[in-house]
Amino acid sequence: MKKIVILAFIPFLFACDSRKTNYDYEKSKIQHYFAMDDIKQADSLLSELFKEAYESDFDFFYYYALTSIHLGNYQRADSILEVWDEKSGEDYRIDYSYAYYYSEKGNYEKALYSINKSLALKSFDHSSMNLKGSILSNFEKDDSVFKEAKNSFERAYILFPMPLYKFNLSQLYSNYEIYDSSISILTNLIANDKENYEFYISRGASYYYKNKFKLAELDFIQADSINPISPSSKYHLGLIQLKNEDFENGCINILKCDSLGGHKDHMILLKQCKEYGWYD
């Protein structure tokens, strides 16, 4: 932690304000933004609220730490977490936030240590179980790691049956090349939510790695029809089209992927398209 940053942050954090604020109402607005995945709006409101003095409600520290990490503002996250830790003492959410922080920065050993601390304080927190599974998914492949990550996702889902937890489990299976299990989970998720394009992309990827290219193509087409401005949709549709030697449509979609911000490995396909002579 950088002390100079924290010292500069504290006067701003607890600057007094004469306004009367209904913090419960503001908190409900923040929770709504989180539920709508509008992190920037939540962060903007939190930035305003942190100009006021509310030293007793640590929910705001938690939300502000999460938005800071999510938006990649790690310097601000450092400041919030250290001040929060000094003021509140033992709180499983602090360790959860540190786990999220280290995970986003790619330090998975520290992330695992922090999430285990969080779970030691609150063993039945579904968000912590899910985060632990996600952290373990980044470790080198190992049977014991796989088993622990799988157990974490399954426990999270039992505690709170959120589709995201099942989706994360499907990704774990895919990472370990257990594609049939991944496909089975994703098929069930699609049956309950036919408008989630990411489900189709993930199932299509599992079909692709099983060499079931027609089924993969159908899923990628469906994903693109649901969200035609997703670089991931364009990338995967272009990928399967190039695989099927439909170079014109494939290269058009890879070019669209590039214009939408790109996707992992899309530059490799762009280079291939140039070699094919489909664009200069």
Phi, psi of 79 (to 5 degrees): -65, -45
For residue 119, being part of any structural domain is answered with no
CB contact set of 240 (below 8 Å; sequence gap of 6+): 204, 208, 213, 216, 217, 220, 250
* pLDDT value for 156: 97
For residue 72, being part of any structural domain is answered with yes
Q: The pTM is what?
A: 0.85
Enclosing domain of residue 195: 191-280
What is the total count of domains within the chain?
2
**Distances in whole angstroms, Cα of residue 277 to Cα of each of 248, 271, 280:** 10, 10, 7
* pLDDT value for 6: 22
State the amino acid at position 72 in one-letter form: G
Where a domain ends, among 54, 89, 124?
Answer: 89
Answer whether 122's CB lies under 8 Å from 116's CB: no
Q: Which residues of the chain have pLDDT under 70?
A: 1-20, 51-56, 278-280
For residue 135, being part of any structural domain is answered with no
* pLDDT value for 48: 83
For residue 18, being part of any structural domain is answered with yes
* pLDDT value for 255: 94
Where a domain ends, among 59, 89, 119?
Answer: 89
* pLDDT value for 1: 31
For residue 170, being part of any structural domain is answered with no
How does the average pLDDT of the chain come out, rounded?
89
Where a domain ends, among 70, 89, 108?
Answer: 89
For residue 198, being part of any structural domain is answered with yes
**Distances in whole angstroms, Cα of residue 179 to Cα of each of 87, 138, 203:** 47, 18, 9
CB contact set of 203 (below 8 Å; sequence gap of 6+): 182, 183, 186, 187, 190, 219
CATH code of the domain containing 260: 1.25.40.10
For residue 27, being part of any structural domain is answered with yes
Q: Which two tokens stand for residue 150?
A: 């799988």
* pLDDT value for 23: 81
Answer whether 77's CB lies under 8 Å from 65's CB: yes
For residue 168, being part of any structural domain is answered with no
Report the run of H or E that residue 49 belongs to, with start and end: helix 39-49
* pLDDT value for 132: 98
Answer whether 205's CB lies under 8 Å from 236's CB: yes
* pLDDT value for 203: 98
* pLDDT value for 272: 86
